[in-house]
Each structure stands twice: as structure tokens, then as C-alpha cells.
Amino acid sequence: MLARLRSLLRGLFRRDTVEAEMREEFRHHIELRAADLVREGSSPEEAQRRAHLEFGHAEGHRETARASRGLKRFDDLRFSWLDFKLGFRMLVRYPGLTLMGGVAMAMGIAFGAGLFEFVMQWSRPELPFAGGARLVGIEVRDTETGGVEPRILHDFARWKEDLRSVEELGAFRLAGRNLVTGDGPGEPVLVTEVSASAFRLVGAPPLHGRTLLEDDERANASPVVVIGHDLWQDRFGGRLDAVGTTIRLGGTQATVVGVMPEGFEFPHSQNIWTSLRFDPLEFAPGEGPAIYLFGRLAPGASLELAQAEIETLGFQAAAAYPETHAGLAPRVVPFPELVHMPAPGLFNPEFLFLNLFILALVVLLCANVALLLFARAATRESELVVRSALGAGRRRIVLQLFSEALVLGGVATVVGLMGAKYGYEWFLTAIEGAEGPLPFWFEPRISPTTVLYALGLTVVGAAVAGILPALKVTRGVAASLRESTAGGGGLRFGGVWTLVIVAQVALTMPLPAFTYFALDEMAGVSRLHVDIATENFLTARLELDRDLESIAPTDLFDPNNAFGGSGLESDSAFLARYASNLDELERRLLAEPAVRAVTLVDRLPLTYHPAHQVELDEGAIAPPDERGHRISTARIEPNYFEAFGVPILVGRGFDSEDVISGARVVIVDEPFVDRVLGGRNPIGLRLRYIAIERAPPPGPDAPWYEIVGVVGDLGMENGYGRGGVYHPVARGENYPASLVIHLSSDPTGFSTRLRTLGAEVDPTLRVESLTSLEDIANGEEGIYAWGVSAVVLLTFTALMLSLAGIYAVMSFAVSRRTREIGIRVALGAKPRSLLLAIFRRPLVQVGLGVLAGAYLLGMLSHWMFGGITLGQMLLVAVYALVMAGVCLLACVVPTRRALGVEPVTALRAEG
Amino acid sequence: MTDQANILPGTLDLLILKAVSLGKLHGYGVLLRIEQISGGALQIQQGALYPALYRLEHKGLIQSEWGTSENNRRAKYYSLTKAGRRQLGEEVASWNSLADAIARALSARPQEG
């Protein structure tokens, strides 16, 4: 055993020495034999010749010797440079196949790698600075509600002193402010008020000027800001004298002291920073601004250690301040989790499913390439037979075809990775366009891990595309050799290929249907029908600067905060100021000649609304599922419908009396009437809420509301469909409220005017998310367009490939029957019966595939969309016809050729 | 050397082991030795000897070392290992019993039935 192992290892790792010794031994043998022959009377030349002849074929002996050392198995798995050279030659020789197969593999790899990169950046973010992995956040959760408690200024001050395992502890908060850099009304920005330690943590030197310092945090220091590169370019044209200029942030003047380099964003995607200046002594525990804490794990400290330490400090705080801290649990989390929703873990089912999907896609695409390569390999049968005869083993040939597929895959991978980079960039842009900015660690780059992943996909793809057909072909070759013919009928298209073709047709069947569905969905989104003429409406969210916002006015953080999603701690003085600002703004707006009407609402039409569950006292139809009737709500001012110019269809509208008296009356829309009441007249019926999204259930004492009117469909949308309830509210009850201005002309020109009017009313009144209703209606389309284009592109490739593969294999199968056709013609067969005989099998294969595909499609449609539409059915029928057409075409060309051949020639033909 | 006489399959290894057991030999020497001890009755196809030698060495039945041959050239000399000696003993015994059995069978007469 030991001897064998030693001999094997020597053969593997000292191959050159072993080979040289073998050659030397053979030479020595032949020399001695030749000397003997000379002694027996031969001439030296004759002796040499005979000695060689007697010794036999040296390479053959060497081959046997290698096998007897157990090296053959390893040799068979060795790629030779020649295989790859041959692979490249094949790429050039069959440009059509190269293009078709290469594009298919590249698409699969691009799609897979791009998706993988996104998931990696989401679930395992790499922060782009030294020690990024040690950056942590500290969040405090309310154990009862599960929400985040952000009013932790007190804890911050204490932890700064006591916490040993986290160093450079800092805090930030986000505050919306109007930024005024010159003349004009300015624009709202999200300012990061942050501890100076942030800049030390990320180790980013400023491009110009300086970063924030601890001294800037003193109460009597003059306010300073540091701006990001993009802002510097936009607002200051990249001028060097930007440092030192004074700007205004809301009601505060501040000096620009530094400009950060390009790409620097912190903590999420912000690019303007000012000092966080709050004195913890001014606030009682559990009060103060909403802040977020971050720091770096101290040398030698782990996340677990830091967690243990912070828990201990949490217990101490709970003992010291039971009223405010009893139910609070502080946690140390990796920094990305603090500012971005955590991704599913790498091993959770969703992620595995995604990987399986990618793998299945690549395998499917490569199975098509396999069909093409098989057809090509089949035409090279003679070459393979000759190679076999020259002593190449089956494994050798399979390996050769595998390396050819690898070469194709390699080229495809390079192209695919480039495609992945651009596709990913496009994808990020689409997401940011639809969902707002992503955190700074999402970069359109392809990491080494993703490259490895892509290479793995390539090997899998090449194995599918190269090894499968190779195994099939080499089996045929063995048969050819046994029959002593070169390329004579050794290859048969047996049950396996029938299965492959049937599976191929079946699997591609649902693709067009799903594309159709995606397009339909897309059209649905872009056609979002509303009973409003959306052209002449300008909308904006109105916010007011406030020192103690309880939650950042963005979706950056978990909206499910300690305040039940209300967004703000109620403060009547603040809301009164807000309401009077709105009154003044409305007055000025209505004085503008272009303005027809102004109204306010908590959520705009065609945007997302939370879904609440309602019940009616009578008349409601059975809900679709156990989640009950999920409907949207909007809190509107009494003139809302008037401002939109939509009529009350049944019953009455709201008036100011409803607001003043606090009457519990509501108006519902038509989709609500259809969904919840099956079209019955709702006037006089009562409804109440039994579940409210992101809030504790209202319980049995929930108030009843009377339905007094019905309006058309104004685009109240939630994940469950249209349909909603309108509640009347007084001005100032919605914060932040969305403003809707009905103009007499195109709204885009009015934006600046609105900002100016807002600034005149109050410099701290911020006009956020200024957009026309038209753009809101079109806004959803970006991400859909991306998804749909990707799906269409992939589907198209898969279809083309599938058709090309089926065509190649079928036409090859028919052309193999040239001889048979010739003989039948010679024997007087009628062309019709001949055609039937030829076409029967391909048509049966495609027919089976179509049936299997239709069944698969039916199941999938039922499972995903609860049924199949007429449009989809038509599409499937058309596709089945196309398939049949391709199949016929594949058979016609070789059949015509075969029918035109003289029987004598046919008999000589291969096959 | 004339054409190779047919050697029963499996006997080449036995013959090599026997030849090597009589003293260290290089490859060509093994060939000559087999011819000599079989009285020229057994001839081996020359090149086929080497795969068999390597196979026996791979199994650890013989070992090799480099030395200098009669024509002053570097040559590889083969000798029997302990395992090879044991194997040779077993193979010789089983060969003899097989040969006896075949001989008995072939010398059978009609009345011995």
C-alpha cells in the first residue's frame, strides 16, 4: 500500500524525472540489444533498425507503463494546451454557434453575477475604509413594542464614559433644513448633525479645509458645516473659495470649513455635516432629540463582548431610572444594520432560493448550448472516431469537448462580467430612482467573490454544455469503432434526446407567457387609472424645522419606532405654528393667477398607503382571505375633492362643520364599494378598524364611522389593491402634510415660485419632494421597466437559443437519415408517406413538449396568479405554432436535400 | 531473437520475479535471463517488459536502484523485495499445483471415467 502511494506520488509530482528515467532505460535497452545484434553479424545501422523494431512502439509502452503506475486516471483529467487551442479554433470556425452559445452563457452569467453582487453588498457590506468591519452601531429597543427608542442622549453621555469595548463613541441625527447658498429660496437638504469622531473613525481626510472638531460642539462655538463633493460641485461649481463662505441652514448661518472627497457619504448617503450640539444635562433621561450612536470595537474586543458590556450598562440604567429604562434593551450591531434594513442571512431559504434560481437559469441556458454543441460534435464524429482509433480514451475526448465548452464559457464569462457591472449600475440607478438613495457601500463594482462565483457558474455551465453532449457522442463513437466505420450510424438520437427536446420545449413554454404577464403588469402600472386629470397638479411635502424631532423625517430608519409610527411627538405649539404657516402659504398661493385650488392631505394619490383591516356593521361581502378587507385611508381637508375637480357620486361631500364638530363621518371610493360591499349602496352604513398597520390593534372599543358619500377612484393604493376611506381633518392635524396645488397650466414652471413663497412665509418651512402628480403616476415605472427589460431580454435569449438548439438537433437527426430516404425512394416510396415517416418523430417531440409546457404553465399561473388569461392562452398558442414551424423548417431543408439525392449516392452516404 | 512465444497471461510477472530473484538485473538483463532459464523457449516482446517491471515496482514486489552497466552507462537495476520474495513463493506453489492438475487431466485414459 505504502509502496503504491509512494510510486503514485512520485509519478504525479516528479513527472519529468520519471519520464526522463523511462526514456533513458528504453534507450539503454535498445543500445544493448543493438550491440548484441552487431556481435551476431549485423551492420551497426541494421542493428539499430532491428533493435528499434523489436522493442516496438515506445510511446505505446510508455502509455502502458503510466497506466500500470496508476497515472492514467490522472492523465485523463489533465487539460492540455492543445485542447484549449482547439477550443479557440472552434470558436472561430463556427461563428454562429459561438455567438449564439456565447451570448446565452454570457447573459446567464451576467444576470447571476449582478444579482449575486447586489445580495452580497446588501447582506455582507464591506465599508470602503480601513477597519470598516469593526464599525458598530448601538441601538436601544423597547422590549414591549419591538421599536427603536432613539431618545438616548443621556445614555450616550454615560456610555461615552463607561463603555470600554467600543471606542470613539459618537452620535448623529438627521435634520431636514433649507439650504440657502446664495440668493433665492434655497432647497431642503438632509443635514447630518454628527460628533467629530465620525471623521476619525472613517479616516477620511478632507479634500479642502478641515473636518469637524470637538471644539465645534461647544455651545458658544460659531456654527460650521462640512460639505460633500457633489454638493460642492452643484452649489459652488467646485470653486476653491467655497471654504470660508457663509451659508444658511434653515434659520441658522454657518461657515463652510471643509469639502470632503468624491464618494464620501456618511452615515448613509448624506453629504452635508454639521456639529451635533446637545447638552445631556438639559434633558431628563428618556427625553431629548432622536440620535443614533456609532463607534469602533476597541482593539481585542468582539461584537459579543461589546454586547455583553452594553447589556450590563443597560441593566444598571434600568435600575437607576425604572420609569424610562425598565423596558429598554441596548444592542451593539454592525454599523450597516444601524442605517439600513438588515439583509436576509446568507443561508436563509430566500437566499438559497435565489441561488437555485440563478443556477437553474444558467443550467437551462447551457442546456440549450449543449444541444448546439451536440449537433456540432455529431458532425465531427469522424474526427472523434479517428482520435479514438489513435488511442484517445473516452475520458480524453470528453475532456477535450469539455475544455472547448470551457473556452466558450471563459469568453462568455469575461463578457458576462462586464455586462454584470453595467447591468448592476443600471439596476442601482433604477432602485435609487424608485426607492431613494441607497447607503454609501452600494457601489456598481464587481467584487472578487462575485468573480469567483461567476467562474463557478462557468464551470457548471461548461459541464452542462460540454460534458453531456460529449458523453453522448463518445458512446456513439465506440459503436462506430466496433462497426469499423468512420461516422457510420454510430450516433443515434435515443430517448435521452427526445427527453431533452421535450423538456426544452416544455420549459421554454411558460417564458413568453410570463413575459407577457410582466409586460401586462408594466402596462397596468403605467396605465394606473385614476379619475383625476393628473396633468396640472403640483405636489410637495411641507415640513418645518424643529429642534427636537423625535424621528428623522425619512424612511431611512425603521419607521416602526417607539411612537407607533406617528412620526412625531405631538407638540401643540409646534403644530399651531405649522398650521398658521400653512394658512399663510395658502393665502399667498391663491393670490397667484396660475393657481386654481390648494388642498392638503396626509398621503398623495398613487403613492403607497398603509393597509388597515376594516369591518362593517352590515352588508359587507366575505373577505378574500383571513387577512380580511385591507383598505387604505387618507386624512383630507374638506375641499379635497373640489380641488381635484372630482364629483361626489353618491351622498354628500365634507364641509368645515364635519371638522369642527369632530363628527365620525367618512367618504369611501368606488373600489371600496366594489371590494367590500360588492357594489351595494354604502350610504348610512358604518365601518370601524379592527387592525391598523404598524400599530397595536384598536380593540373592541374602536369607534364606528358613518359612510356619507362615495367618490371615484383617486388612486388609493396598497399592496392589496385599490380601495379606501377618506377622513376629514383640520389643518395642522397632519404632520407632515402633502400640499396639492391645482394649476391652470403645466406645473413644472411653478416649482421655484412655490419655494420662494415658502421661504417668504418662513425660512424654516421646507418644501420637500416637489413633484408633479404626473411624475408620481409615472414614478413606479423605472424599477418595473428595469425588471421587465431584464426578463424580456433573458426570455428572448432563452427562446432564440431553444429554437436554435431544437432546429440544430432536429435537422441533424433528419440529415442522418439521408441513406434511408434514398433507399426508400429507390424502392418507390411515395413522397407523402415518406414525409410522414420523417416528420412524425419531431412533431411528436414538439407536441409532447407543448403539452407538458402548457400543463406546467397552467400550474404556475394557477399558483402565482390564480388563473391564466386569454391573452396568455393566445400567446401560448402562437408560441406552439412557432415551435411547430421551427421544427418543420428543421426537417424540411435536410429532407429536400435527401429527396433530391440519387439513390446510389444515398447508399454511399454516411448514416 | 525470434518472434515472441505465447506466454500465458499472468505468467510474465512470475517470470520476472523469478529472474530478479536470481540476482540484480537491468531491464535488458531480465529479458536475457528469462530466455536463458527457459532454454530459449520463452521470449518476451521486448517493450512489453517495462510496463510489467514498473507494475511490480509500483506494487512494491521489486525495487530499483541506478548503477553502471556492462557498457559503462547508467542503468536501472531491479532486485526482489521481501514482499516480492513472499509473492514469488506463493505464485510458484500455485503454478505448480495448477500445472500438476492440468498434467493429470491431460494424461487421463478412456477407462478412467
**pLDDT, tens digit (0-9, with 9 covering 90-100), for A219-268:** 888 999 999 999 999 888 888 888 999 998 888 889 999 999 988 888 88
Cα separation, A267 vs A171, in Å, equals 10
Could you say which of B1, B47, B60 has the minimum Cβ distance to residue A3?
B60
Contact assignment for B51 to A8 by CB distance below 8 Å: no
Cα separation, A256 vs B5, in Å, equals 102
Other residues' Cβ atoms within 10 Å of the Cβ of residue A687: 23
Cα separation, A817 vs B113, in Å, equals 60
Nearest chain A residue to B62, by CA: A3
3-state secondary structure of A735: coil
Contact assignment for B73 to A67 by CB distance below 8 Å: no
User: Is A204 near chain B, with CB under 8 Å?
Assistant: no
Residue A275 · residue A220 · CB < 8 Å: no
Contact assignment for A25 to B75 by CB distance below 8 Å: yes
Which chain A residues are closer than 8 Å to B83 by Cβ?
A: 3
User: Is B4 near chain A, with CB under 8 Å?
Assistant: no
Residue A600 · residue A731 · CB < 8 Å: yes
Residue A549: per-residue pLDDT? 47
Cα separation, A571 vs A742, in Å, equals 31
Supply the DSSP string of A370-392, one letter for each residue: HHHHHHHHHHTHHHHHHHHHTT-
Q: Residue A672: which residues within 8 A CB-CB, separation 6 or more? A: A631, A682, A723, A724, A725
Dump strand ranges (E) for A480-546.
537-544
Parallel, antiparallel, or unpaired: how do β-strands B62-68 and B74-80 relate? Answer: antiparallel
Residue B12 has pLDDT above 90, yes or no: no
Cα separation, A725 vs A667, in Å, equals 6
The least confident of A324-338, A390-404, B43-57, B89-103 is A390-404
CA-based torsion, A765, A766, A770, A776: positive or negative: negative
Parallel, antiparallel, or unpaired: how do β-strands A224-227 and A717-718 relate? Answer: unpaired
Which chain A residues are closer than 8 Å to B28 by Cβ?
A: 28-29, 32-33
Which chain A residues are closer than 8 Å to B69 by Cβ?
A: 28, 32
Parallel, antiparallel, or unpaired: how do β-strands A224-227 and A252-259 relate? Answer: parallel
Cα separation, A738 vs A766, in Å, equals 12
Contact assignment for B51 to A55 by CB distance below 8 Å: no
Residue A344: per-residue pLDDT? 56
Contact assignment for A28 to B52 by CB distance below 8 Å: no
Residue A403 · residue A437 · CB < 8 Å: no
Please state, in angstroms and as integers, the Cα–Cα distance from residue A423 to each residue in A111, A121, A366, following that order: 8, 15, 21
The terminus-to-terminus CA distance of chain B in angstroms comes to 44
Closest to A713 in 3D by CA, of A490, A455, A530, A862: A530
Contact assignment for B47 to A21 by CB distance below 8 Å: no
Cα separation, B50 vs A20, in Å, equals 14
Q: Residue A484: which residues within 8 A CB-CB, separation 6 or more? A: none
% chain A with pLDDT above 70: 85
Task: Please work out, in degrees rounded to the nearest 5, the angle formed at the alpha carbon of residue A72 by the alpha carbons of A70 and A76.
Answer: 145
User: Is B11 near chain A, with CB under 8 Å?
Assistant: no
Cα separation, A454 vs A448, in Å, equals 10
Residue A570: per-residue pLDDT? 47
Parallel, antiparallel, or unpaired: how do β-strands A328-334 and A224-227 relate? Answer: unpaired
Q: Rounded to an integer, what is the distance from CA A473 to the centroid of its chain?
A: 39
Interfacial B residues in 93-112 facing A (CB < 8 Å): none
Supply the DSSP string of A56-100, one letter for each residue: --HHHHHHHHHHHTT-HHHHHT---HHHHHHHHHHHHH-HHHHHH
Half-sphere exposure of B60 (CA within 13 A, CB side): 11
Task: Provide the greatest CA pair distance for chain A.
Answer: 134
Which chain B residues are closer than 8 Å to A7 by Cβ?
A: 57-58, 60
A386 phi-psi bin (left φ>0, alpha ψ -120 to 50, beta other): alpha
Cα separation, A147 vs A143, in Å, equals 8
Residue A471 · residue A464 · CB < 8 Å: no
User: For residue A190, what are the β-bridge partners?
Assistant: A176
Cα separation, A112 vs A468, in Å, equals 22
Residue A85: per-residue pLDDT? 82
- All residue ranges of chain A with pLDDT < 50 are 485-491, 549-570, 911
Exposure of A703 by Cβ count < 10 A (0-12 exposed, 13-18 middle, 19+ buried)?
exposed
Closest to A545 in 3D by CA, of A155, A248, A745: A248
Threshold 0.75, pTM exceeds:
no
Residue A70 · residue A10 · CB < 8 Å: no
How many Cβ contacts (< 8 angstroms) between chains A and B?
A: 72
Parallel, antiparallel, or unpaired: how do β-strands A724-728 and A629-636 relate? Answer: parallel
Closest to A861 in 3D by CA, of A513, A522, A350: A513
Phi, psi dihedrals of residue A98, rounded to the nearest 5° = -60, -45
Cell of A751: 416649482
Contact assignment for B57 to A7 by CB distance below 8 Å: yes
Cα separation, A416 vs A458, in Å, equals 10
Q: Residue A328: which residues within 8 A CB-CB, separation 6 or more? A: A140, A141, A142, A143, A149, A314, A317, A318
Which chain B residues are closer than 8 Å to A4 by Cβ?
A: 58-60
Cell of A64: 502502458
Contact assignment for B58 to A61 by CB distance below 8 Å: no
Cis-peptide into A267, omega within 30 deg: yes
Residue B63 · residue A65 · CB < 8 Å: no
Cα separation, A629 vs A621, in Å, equals 9
Half-sphere exposure of B88 (CA within 13 A, CB side): 19
Supply the DSSP string of B48-101, one letter for each residue: HHHHHHHHHHHHTSEEEEEEE-TTS-EEEEEEE-HHHHHHHHHHHHHHHHHHHH
Interfacial B residues in 37-76 facing A (CB < 8 Å): 45-48, 50-52, 54-55, 57-60, 69-71, 73-76
Residue A72: per-residue pLDDT? 67
